[in-house]
Homo-oligomer: A and B are copies of this chain.
Amino acid sequence: MSEQTLAEIGEFGLITRIEELVARLAPGEQVLVGPGDDAAVLRVRNGHVVVSTDLMVEGRHFRRDWADAADVGHRAAAQNLSDLNAMGGRATWLTVGFAAPPALPAQWALDFTRGFAEECALVGAGLVGGDVSSSDQIVISVTVMGSCTVSPVLRSGAQPGEIVALAGRQGWAAGGLAVLGRGFRSPRKLVDAYRRPEPPYDAGRAAAEAGATAMIDVSDGLLADALHVARASGVAIDVRTEAFEVPEPLVAVGAATGADPMSFVLGGGDDHSLLATFPPDAALPEGWLEIGRVSQASADGPAVTVDGEPYDGPYGWTHF
Protein backbone atom coordinates (compact mmCIF):
# COMPACT_ATOMS: atom_id res chain seq x y z
CA MET A 1 0.00 0.00 0.00
CA SER A 2 2.54 2.57 1.14
CA GLU A 3 4.44 2.22 -2.15
CA GLN A 4 1.46 2.82 -4.42
CA THR A 5 0.75 6.07 -6.23
CA LEU A 6 -2.69 7.63 -6.60
CA ALA A 7 -2.69 6.43 -10.21
CA GLU A 8 -2.06 2.86 -9.03
CA ILE A 9 -4.59 2.83 -6.19
CA GLY A 10 -7.16 4.59 -8.40
CA GLU A 11 -9.89 7.10 -7.65
CA PHE A 12 -12.31 4.64 -6.10
CA GLY A 13 -9.55 2.79 -4.25
CA LEU A 14 -8.47 6.05 -2.67
CA ILE A 15 -12.01 7.04 -1.75
CA THR A 16 -12.62 3.66 -0.11
CA ARG A 17 -9.48 3.99 2.02
CA ILE A 18 -10.36 7.54 2.98
CA GLU A 19 -13.87 6.51 4.00
CA GLU A 20 -12.48 3.71 6.20
CA LEU A 21 -10.10 6.12 7.92
CA VAL A 22 -12.75 8.75 8.47
CA ALA A 23 -15.31 6.31 9.85
CA ARG A 24 -12.75 5.31 12.46
CA LEU A 25 -11.25 8.70 13.34
CA ALA A 26 -13.98 11.30 12.99
CA PRO A 27 -17.39 9.92 12.13
CA GLY A 28 -19.18 13.09 13.20
CA GLU A 29 -22.48 13.57 14.97
CA GLN A 30 -25.92 13.84 13.49
CA VAL A 31 -24.82 12.38 10.14
CA LEU A 32 -27.93 10.82 8.61
CA VAL A 33 -26.19 9.82 5.36
CA GLY A 34 -22.38 9.82 5.34
CA PRO A 35 -19.83 9.64 2.52
CA GLY A 36 -20.53 7.36 -0.44
CA ASP A 37 -23.76 8.64 -1.96
CA ASP A 38 -24.37 11.63 -4.25
CA ALA A 39 -24.51 13.84 -1.17
CA ALA A 40 -24.37 13.64 2.61
CA VAL A 41 -27.45 14.32 4.73
CA LEU A 42 -26.94 16.05 8.07
CA ARG A 43 -29.36 16.77 10.89
CA VAL A 44 -29.52 20.45 11.78
CA ARG A 45 -30.71 21.27 15.27
CA ASN A 46 -30.53 25.04 15.56
CA GLY A 47 -32.44 26.12 12.46
CA HIS A 48 -29.36 27.44 10.72
CA VAL A 49 -26.01 26.36 9.34
CA VAL A 50 -22.77 28.35 9.31
CA VAL A 51 -20.56 27.65 6.29
CA SER A 52 -17.07 28.56 5.12
CA THR A 53 -14.71 27.40 2.34
CA ASP A 54 -10.89 27.69 2.28
CA LEU A 55 -8.22 26.65 -0.20
CA MET A 56 -4.73 25.28 0.40
CA VAL A 57 -2.38 25.10 -2.57
CA GLU A 58 0.96 23.30 -2.60
CA GLY A 59 3.84 25.73 -3.01
CA ARG A 60 1.60 28.58 -1.96
CA HIS A 61 0.17 27.54 1.43
CA PHE A 62 2.38 24.55 2.19
CA ARG A 63 5.49 22.72 1.00
CA ARG A 64 5.88 18.98 1.25
CA ASP A 65 9.49 19.37 2.39
CA TRP A 66 8.48 21.72 5.22
CA ALA A 67 5.64 19.71 6.74
CA ASP A 68 4.58 16.09 6.49
CA ALA A 69 1.22 15.00 5.16
CA ALA A 70 -0.39 14.66 8.58
CA ASP A 71 0.78 18.19 9.46
CA VAL A 72 -0.81 19.55 6.29
CA GLY A 73 -4.00 17.70 7.20
CA HIS A 74 -4.03 19.18 10.68
CA ARG A 75 -3.45 22.65 9.30
CA ALA A 76 -6.09 22.35 6.56
CA ALA A 77 -8.67 21.36 9.15
CA ALA A 78 -7.50 23.94 11.70
CA GLN A 79 -7.84 26.90 9.35
CA ASN A 80 -11.39 25.92 8.52
CA LEU A 81 -12.48 25.04 12.04
CA SER A 82 -11.09 28.43 12.99
CA ASP A 83 -13.45 30.23 10.61
CA LEU A 84 -16.41 28.88 12.54
CA ASN A 85 -14.65 29.65 15.81
CA ALA A 86 -14.52 33.27 14.62
CA MET A 87 -18.30 33.35 14.24
CA GLY A 88 -18.71 32.14 17.81
CA GLY A 89 -19.84 28.77 16.51
CA ARG A 90 -18.74 25.17 16.55
CA ALA A 91 -17.90 23.11 13.47
CA THR A 92 -19.75 19.83 13.03
CA TRP A 93 -19.11 18.70 9.43
CA LEU A 94 -16.49 19.17 6.73
CA THR A 95 -16.07 18.19 3.09
CA VAL A 96 -12.76 18.09 1.19
CA GLY A 97 -11.98 18.52 -2.49
CA PHE A 98 -8.56 16.90 -2.99
CA ALA A 99 -6.78 17.40 -6.32
CA ALA A 100 -3.30 15.88 -6.63
CA PRO A 101 -0.78 14.58 -9.19
CA PRO A 102 -1.29 10.93 -10.18
CA ALA A 103 2.31 10.19 -9.10
CA LEU A 104 1.67 11.30 -5.51
CA PRO A 105 2.17 8.40 -3.07
CA ALA A 106 -1.26 7.24 -1.95
CA GLN A 107 0.14 7.16 1.58
CA TRP A 108 0.52 10.96 1.47
CA ALA A 109 -3.21 11.32 0.80
CA LEU A 110 -4.05 8.88 3.59
CA ASP A 111 -1.70 10.54 6.10
CA PHE A 112 -3.21 13.88 5.15
CA THR A 113 -6.66 12.44 5.81
CA ARG A 114 -5.57 11.03 9.16
CA GLY A 115 -4.18 14.40 10.31
CA PHE A 116 -7.26 16.15 9.03
CA ALA A 117 -9.65 13.79 10.80
CA GLU A 118 -7.65 13.96 14.05
CA GLU A 119 -7.85 17.76 14.06
CA CYS A 120 -11.60 17.60 13.36
CA ALA A 121 -12.04 15.17 16.25
CA LEU A 122 -10.67 17.85 18.64
CA VAL A 123 -13.97 19.71 18.24
CA GLY A 124 -16.15 16.66 17.54
CA ALA A 125 -16.53 17.43 13.84
CA GLY A 126 -16.70 14.79 11.11
CA LEU A 127 -15.59 14.54 7.49
CA VAL A 128 -18.82 13.79 5.62
CA GLY A 129 -17.95 13.98 1.94
CA GLY A 130 -15.67 15.21 -0.78
CA ASP A 131 -14.16 14.59 -4.18
CA VAL A 132 -10.79 13.56 -5.56
CA SER A 133 -9.24 14.37 -8.91
CA SER A 134 -5.90 14.41 -10.66
CA SER A 135 -4.12 17.74 -11.11
CA ASP A 136 -0.58 19.06 -11.65
CA GLN A 137 -0.28 20.37 -8.10
CA ILE A 138 -1.92 19.50 -4.80
CA VAL A 139 -4.95 21.74 -4.25
CA ILE A 140 -7.12 21.14 -1.19
CA SER A 141 -10.46 22.84 -0.81
CA VAL A 142 -12.23 22.44 2.52
CA THR A 143 -15.79 23.41 3.33
CA VAL A 144 -16.80 23.49 6.98
CA MET A 145 -20.33 23.61 8.37
CA GLY A 146 -21.58 24.09 11.89
CA SER A 147 -23.78 26.22 14.05
CA CYS A 148 -23.89 28.82 16.79
CA THR A 149 -25.72 28.66 20.11
CA VAL A 150 -25.87 32.46 20.37
CA SER A 151 -26.04 35.02 17.55
CA PRO A 152 -23.09 34.75 15.15
CA VAL A 153 -20.45 37.44 15.75
CA LEU A 154 -19.73 39.31 12.51
CA ARG A 155 -16.85 41.58 11.53
CA SER A 156 -19.07 44.60 11.34
CA GLY A 157 -20.15 45.21 14.94
CA ALA A 158 -17.19 47.09 16.46
CA GLN A 159 -18.01 50.46 18.07
CA PRO A 160 -15.78 53.37 19.11
CA GLY A 161 -14.64 53.06 22.72
CA GLU A 162 -14.63 49.27 22.72
CA ILE A 163 -11.80 46.95 23.75
CA VAL A 164 -9.80 45.04 21.14
CA ALA A 165 -8.72 41.62 22.39
CA LEU A 166 -6.84 38.57 21.15
CA ALA A 167 -7.12 34.87 21.97
CA GLY A 168 -4.43 32.35 21.08
CA ARG A 169 -0.79 32.52 20.13
CA GLN A 170 0.26 35.16 17.66
CA GLY A 171 3.50 35.25 15.66
CA TRP A 172 4.71 31.74 16.46
CA ALA A 173 3.71 30.20 13.12
CA ALA A 174 5.05 33.20 11.17
CA GLY A 175 8.34 32.78 13.03
CA GLY A 176 8.37 29.09 12.15
CA LEU A 177 7.72 29.89 8.52
CA ALA A 178 10.60 32.40 8.51
CA VAL A 179 12.89 29.75 9.96
CA LEU A 180 11.85 27.13 7.40
CA GLY A 181 12.22 29.68 4.59
CA ARG A 182 15.87 30.10 5.55
CA GLY A 183 16.51 26.38 5.49
CA PHE A 184 16.52 25.83 9.26
CA ARG A 185 14.45 23.49 11.42
CA SER A 186 14.73 25.24 14.80
CA PRO A 187 13.60 26.76 17.14
CA ARG A 188 11.50 23.64 17.06
CA LYS A 189 8.60 25.23 18.97
CA LEU A 190 8.09 27.78 16.19
CA VAL A 191 8.41 25.23 13.40
CA ASP A 192 5.89 22.99 15.16
CA ALA A 193 3.56 25.96 15.61
CA TYR A 194 3.66 26.53 11.86
CA ARG A 195 3.16 22.85 11.05
CA ARG A 196 0.31 22.27 13.49
CA PRO A 197 -1.33 25.49 14.65
CA GLU A 198 -3.29 25.30 17.88
CA PRO A 199 -6.28 27.58 17.38
CA PRO A 200 -8.10 28.51 20.61
CA TYR A 201 -11.18 26.47 19.73
CA ASP A 202 -13.10 27.33 22.88
CA ALA A 203 -12.41 31.06 22.68
CA GLY A 204 -14.86 31.96 19.93
CA ARG A 205 -17.96 30.68 21.65
CA ALA A 206 -16.78 32.11 24.99
CA ALA A 207 -16.36 35.52 23.35
CA ALA A 208 -19.80 35.36 21.75
CA GLU A 209 -21.38 34.50 25.10
CA ALA A 210 -19.44 37.33 26.76
CA GLY A 211 -20.91 39.86 24.33
CA ALA A 212 -18.18 40.23 21.69
CA THR A 213 -19.37 42.78 19.12
CA ALA A 214 -17.05 41.80 16.23
CA MET A 215 -14.70 38.87 15.68
CA ILE A 216 -12.34 37.54 13.01
CA ASP A 217 -10.03 34.58 12.49
CA VAL A 218 -6.48 35.95 12.19
CA SER A 219 -5.38 34.25 8.97
CA ASP A 220 -4.13 37.09 6.77
CA GLY A 221 -2.14 38.80 9.56
CA LEU A 222 -3.07 40.44 12.85
CA LEU A 223 -3.06 43.98 11.42
CA ALA A 224 -4.53 42.91 8.07
CA ASP A 225 -7.41 41.18 9.82
CA ALA A 226 -7.85 44.07 12.26
CA LEU A 227 -8.21 46.22 9.14
CA HIS A 228 -10.96 43.90 7.84
CA VAL A 229 -12.84 44.50 11.10
CA ALA A 230 -12.16 48.26 11.00
CA ARG A 231 -13.48 48.54 7.44
CA ALA A 232 -16.52 46.28 8.00
CA SER A 233 -17.38 48.26 11.15
CA GLY A 234 -16.41 51.72 9.86
CA VAL A 235 -14.06 52.40 12.78
CA ALA A 236 -10.39 52.87 13.59
CA ILE A 237 -8.41 50.33 15.61
CA ASP A 238 -5.22 50.97 17.53
CA VAL A 239 -3.07 48.02 18.60
CA ARG A 240 -0.65 48.56 21.49
CA THR A 241 2.59 46.60 21.27
CA GLU A 242 3.11 46.83 25.04
CA ALA A 243 0.22 44.36 25.37
CA PHE A 244 2.33 41.56 23.90
CA GLU A 245 5.06 39.66 25.61
CA VAL A 246 7.19 38.54 22.68
CA PRO A 247 8.01 34.87 23.30
CA GLU A 248 11.65 33.93 23.72
CA PRO A 249 11.94 31.80 20.54
CA LEU A 250 10.71 34.76 18.47
CA VAL A 251 13.28 37.03 20.10
CA ALA A 252 15.93 34.49 19.12
CA VAL A 253 14.71 34.32 15.52
CA GLY A 254 14.60 38.10 15.35
CA ALA A 255 18.18 38.31 16.56
CA ALA A 256 19.32 35.63 14.10
CA THR A 257 17.53 37.10 11.07
CA GLY A 258 17.76 40.80 11.78
CA ALA A 259 13.96 41.06 11.83
CA ASP A 260 11.98 42.91 14.50
CA PRO A 261 10.35 40.05 16.44
CA MET A 262 7.25 42.20 16.85
CA SER A 263 6.78 42.06 13.06
CA PHE A 264 5.95 38.35 13.35
CA VAL A 265 3.34 39.14 15.99
CA LEU A 266 1.75 41.99 14.02
CA GLY A 267 1.93 40.52 10.50
CA GLY A 268 1.63 36.79 11.15
CA GLY A 269 -1.54 34.89 10.35
CA ASP A 270 -0.93 31.17 10.45
CA ASP A 271 -1.58 30.68 14.17
CA HIS A 272 -5.35 31.13 13.63
CA SER A 273 -5.75 33.21 16.73
CA LEU A 274 -8.95 35.22 17.13
CA LEU A 275 -9.32 39.00 17.23
CA ALA A 276 -12.49 40.42 18.77
CA THR A 277 -13.97 43.62 20.11
CA PHE A 278 -15.89 43.86 23.37
CA PRO A 279 -17.90 46.62 25.06
CA PRO A 280 -15.68 48.76 27.36
CA ASP A 281 -17.22 47.28 30.50
CA ALA A 282 -17.11 43.64 29.38
CA ALA A 283 -15.24 41.08 31.45
CA LEU A 284 -12.96 39.33 28.98
CA PRO A 285 -13.36 35.54 29.04
CA GLU A 286 -10.43 33.35 30.03
CA GLY A 287 -7.74 33.24 27.37
CA TRP A 288 -8.52 36.68 25.96
CA LEU A 289 -5.92 39.48 26.18
CA GLU A 290 -6.67 43.17 25.72
CA ILE A 291 -4.42 44.49 22.94
CA GLY A 292 -5.97 47.78 21.87
CA ARG A 293 -8.94 50.07 21.49
CA VAL A 294 -11.57 50.98 18.92
CA SER A 295 -12.06 54.66 18.05
CA GLN A 296 -13.97 56.71 15.51
CA ALA A 297 -12.59 56.54 11.98
CA SER A 298 -10.88 59.73 10.88
CA ALA A 299 -11.82 61.66 7.74
CA ASP A 300 -9.44 59.35 5.85
CA GLY A 301 -11.66 56.38 6.69
CA PRO A 302 -11.21 53.17 8.67
CA ALA A 303 -7.62 52.39 9.58
CA VAL A 304 -5.42 50.35 11.88
CA THR A 305 -2.58 51.99 13.78
CA VAL A 306 0.11 50.61 16.08
CA ASP A 307 0.80 52.54 19.28
CA GLY A 308 -1.13 55.43 17.77
CA GLU A 309 0.95 55.65 14.59
CA PRO A 310 0.70 54.20 11.07
CA TYR A 311 2.72 50.99 10.86
CA ASP A 312 5.40 50.68 8.20
CA GLY A 313 5.86 46.89 8.34
CA PRO A 314 3.71 44.30 6.59
CA TYR A 315 0.11 44.00 7.79
CA GLY A 316 -0.12 40.46 6.42
CA TRP A 317 -0.28 38.56 3.16
CA THR A 318 -2.35 38.47 -0.02
CA HIS A 319 -2.86 35.48 -2.26
CA PHE A 320 -2.07 36.60 -5.84
Interface residues of A (CB under 8 A from B): 6-7, 9-12, 14, 32-33, 36-45, 47-57, 59-61, 83-84, 86-87, 89, 93, 95-99, 102, 128-137, 139, 141, 143-145, 148, 152, 154-156, 215-217, 232, 318-320
A143 to B55, CA, bound (A): 12
Nearest B residue to A86 via CB reads B38
A to B CB contacts below 8 Å, 5 in the list? A38-B217, A40-B51, A60-B133, A97-B143, A132-B319
A139 to B98, CA, bound (A): 10
Q: Select which of B38, B135, B156 is within 8 A of A83 by beta carbon.
A: B38
A149 to B38, CA, bound (A): 17
CB distance from A137 to the nearest CB of B (A): 5
A38 to B6, CA, bound (A): 33
A61 to B14, CA, bound (A): 19
Nearest B residue to A106 via CB reads B320
Contact B97 A36 (CB under 8 A): no
Contact B57 A134 (CB under 8 A): yes
CB distance from A98 to the nearest CB of B (A): 8
CB distance from A85 to the nearest CB of B (A): 8
Q: Hey, which chain B residues are within 8 Å of A11, CB to CB?
A: 318-320
Contact B131 A55 (CB under 8 A): yes
- Tell which of A98, A99, A128, A141 has the most Cβ of chain B within 10 Å: A141
Q: Hey, which chain B residues are within 8 Å of A155, CB to CB?
A: 36-38
